[in-house]
Structure formats: structure tokens, C-alpha cells
Chains A and B, each alone.
Chain A
Amino acid sequence: MYQGLNAGFQESRRYLSSNYTNHIILITDGHTYGDEAVCLELADQASEIGITISALGIGSEWNDKFLDELVQRTGGSSIFVSGPKDIDLLLKEKFQGLGKTYVERVSLDIRMIPGIKLKYAFRLNPELGPLPIAFPIQLGGIPYKSRQRILLEFLVDPIRTNISRLMLAEGHFTFEIPKYSKKHYRLPVNLMRPVSTSYEMEPPPHSIVEAMSKLTLYRMQEKVRDDIEVGELESAAQSLQNIATHLLSKGETDLAKTALLEVQNVKNQQKLSQEGEKQIKYGTRALLLPESSEEG
């Protein structure tokens, strides 16, 4: 993989310009031949000079965790392609998205206040996928008239009751707008939440609950994989069964069937099939994505 990735990197670097979108699309069957570490180093180099990398993983034999880490370092995202026939469509969508990029090299750097811990980070828009929980987080670009949406889950130590607001974290976004002569921007971020001693909390907005409902399924499949790794097969099978039930209630019958088949694989073979594992991972992740829009 390194050779291909490096060839793309050298080409992008040769034509590198802050007036353009600098992006590498890695199409891979995921065979890394022991060169994973150098690929990650290359991703760091790319990120430093403003090149983002996204990946299309073809087939089912690739290491999705590695590919996720590779693209995360640059602010890109990975997509699962079950067969070559989907590549054309996905590339077309990718190019369309990149062509609309307005803001580049978005980076979030925040510092948690003592007693606050960031437990999970996930990007909903414009790309979809888990984020590393070490700062600064690279977030890639934002298309014109679009927005960047990320979910951050914090764990808060018990707090004093005589305060009305709690500061969770502070820091800043940095980003670039190639279109303007002043290219570098910095936006302060202060994350605060109201504090109340009464138990009656205001219910969260519908859009947050909806996103969290789907994200919960994605995280449940992450947990299934962790459970299988440590031999908690019964727990994994039960969680998969639960995922299938929720998928059915959302009308995702094909994905639900895949999850049910994998329940049998866990019970009989003590593992998930490679294909099923990726279908469930990227299928539950895709629930969070607005439907890919056809031109109409």
C-alpha cells in the first residue's frame, strides 16, 4: 500500500497549492505487506502540509481499523466498497464533494477543564466517521454552504452544586479559506453547559436524539468486535441480536438480516465473517449519512 500511497503523495506535493483542494483518494484492497507504520507516517506528513487522504476499501479482507486511523490523521474518511461496480459512483460523489470545498484544513484544538474527560468523538458532517480523542483533531474541509457537525461525549466528575454553568473545554478551531487573500483563520471555542440541581432535565432536541440513536448502533457494533476479541461471545451475540432488532424497526431489513447471520457466525465459529463485519460497521455508520442525493 505504501508504494501507491507514496506515489499519490509525491504527485500531490508537486502540485501543492493553498489555492486548491489538496486531496488523495486511496483505492485499496487493504493488503499492506507490513508497511502499515510507514503509511501512517506518510499520513502525518500529508496532514502537516495540508493534504487530506480518504480511502475506498474494496472487498472484505482489508484492515478497516488501520484504514480509519490512516485517514483520521489527515481529516479524511474511509468508505467500504463491496465490489468494483460501486467505485465509479463513489468516486463521482467524492469529486463532487471535493469540488465544493470552501473551507480547508479545519482543525479543532481544545483543552479539557480538570475533572472533564472526552469519552468519544464522532463526525457527522460533511464526512462521517469516528474521530481520535487526542487533540488537535484534523477535520478536513467543509463544502460551500455546508456545515461541520461533530458529536463530543464528555464524562464529568461530580460537580459543585452552587454553580449555574460548567465550562467543559476551551480552545479554538483553525481553518483556511483558499478563496480569500487572508487564508488563515482562528475561532475561539468555549464549551459550556448549564448546571441544575433539579432532576427534571430539559429533553434534548429531536435531531440530537435521532443522531445518537443511530450512533448508538454504530457503537454497539464496535463493542461487539471488542467483546469477540476478549472472548465474550455470548455478550457479542446478544448485542448483535439487539442491533438487528433496532435495524428492523428502522426499516433496514437487509442490514438486520446480515446482523442476524452474524449472530450465527459468532455462536458457531466464534467470530464474525469479514464481509459481515464490514457491512455492519459501514452500514450502521451510513445510517448517519444523508441519503446520497441523485441529481434531480
Chain B
Amino acid sequence: MIVCPNCQHQEYSGALFCSKCGAQFVQPRGSGSTTAIYTSIPDAATKIQPPPFPTPPIEHKSAKVALRILDTEEMIYLHSSEEFSLGRATAGQPIVPDIDLTPHNAYETGVSRLHGSLNISHRPVTLQDLGSVNGTRVNGKKLAPHSKTSLSNGDILTLGKLKLQVLIQE
């Protein structure tokens, strides 16, 4: 059994949270901190230590920038262009985004058809919100629509509620 350090309630071994007071017993993979960081922004993302830049598959071998979908650990490699629009493609849409996030639950998580734009031509890499309905956040901080923000390796981008981590090969 586990004894909750907060309220002394007993839980079965393997429990992740105390069912009595809600205290968390384990830290998720990828979070080095033992203290949760909260800001005044409701869904602010705690910064997650970025993994080393992965070796891209052969068809993306020139990629120096990648997006990691946090929920599924899937990777999207960015190369062969300087600017990438992010969004979700729908039938009859006049402008289709370069990176279609539909397979990553874009609709369900509130990603707009044209949500944001990433420029990887120079360093720092920059991100711009394209006036999306549900907004864009970088490490929990909401971006003003149409203004550019610099990104660092490991930054957490939240499009609507879809969380991605930007990985930049230094």
C-alpha cells in the first residue's frame, strides 16, 4: 500500500493519485521538476525537457526542425521550405495548410483551418498566430494574433488544446 504524504490515506501500490485528496504520487515521464509550476494562465504548459533531436527518416533527412505531438509522441519534420502554415484541411477549403494536423485530432482540439505559421529560414525560428479562433500559446503564454514570437528548442506550442513541442537542432 502507499500512504498519501498529504492526508495519510492509504492507496493500492501503483496508484498515481490519492483518491481522497487528489495529491499526485508520481512525476510523468519527461518532467524533471518535482514541483508543479502554475501561472495565472489556466492551461499554462509546464516546460518539458526536450529529447535530443531525433534522427529523421531518410525522406526527411535534411530536417533541422521538428514538431513533436506530445499526446502521441509522433514527429512532424519540417524541411524543403522556409515557411510552414499549420492548421487542418477540410473539403473545399481554398487555402490548405502546409502542415495538416487533422490526423492529430486537430478538429477535436480546436485547431483552426489556418491556425499559425512557422518560419524556419533563420534562427531563431518564429511562430505567428494567424488569428485562430481558439488561440496559440507558447509555454502557456498566449500570443497576440498576427505578431511573431521567437521559439527556442523545447518550447511547448499549444494550438487550441493541441500541444506540440518544437525541436530545433542547434
- Identify which of A146, A205, A295 contacts B108 (C-beta below 8 A): A146
Decide: A205 near B28, CB < 8 A? Known: A242-B22, A243-B22, A296-B113.
yes
Contacts A202-B29, A205-B29, A251-B42; is A291 near B109 (CB within 8 Å)?
yes
Give B114's nearest chain A residue, CB to CB: A296
Say yes or no: A209 contacts B41, CB within 8 Å.
no
Task: Tell which of A125, A203, A250 has the most Cβ of chain B within 10 Å.
Answer: A203
Contact yes or no, B28 A208, CB < 8 A? yes
Q: With A and B bound together, what is the CA distance between A219 and B15 in angstroms?
A: 13
A207 & B102 in contact (Cβ 8 Å cutoff): no
Chain A residue nearest to B90 in the complex (CB): A295
- Inter-chain CA distance A206–B69, complex, in Å, is 12
Query: A251 contacts which of B24, B31, B43, B72 (Cβ < 8 Å)?
Result: B43
Bound state CA distance, A147 and B70, in angstroms? 16
Task: Say whether B27 contacts A203, CB under 8 Å.
Answer: yes
Given A291-B161, A293-B134: A206 and B28 interface contact (C-beta under 8 Å): yes
Chain A nearest CB, measured from B95 CB (Å): 13
- B residues neighboring A (CB under 8 Å): 12, 14, 16-22, 24, 26-31, 36, 38, 40-43, 48, 70-73, 102-103, 105, 107-113, 115, 132-134, 160-161
Interface residues of A (CB under 8 A from B): 125-126, 145-147, 155-156, 201-210, 212-213, 216-217, 219-220, 223, 239, 242-243, 245-246, 249-252, 290-296
If A146-B108, A223-B19, A293-B110 are given as contacts, then 18 extra A-B residue pairs at C-beta distance below 8 Å, sorted by A number, are A125-B108, A126-B108, A201-B26, A205-B30, A205-B73, A206-B29, A206-B30, A207-B72, A213-B17, A216-B19, A216-B22, A245-B22, A290-B160, A291-B161, A293-B108, A293-B111, A293-B160, A296-B112
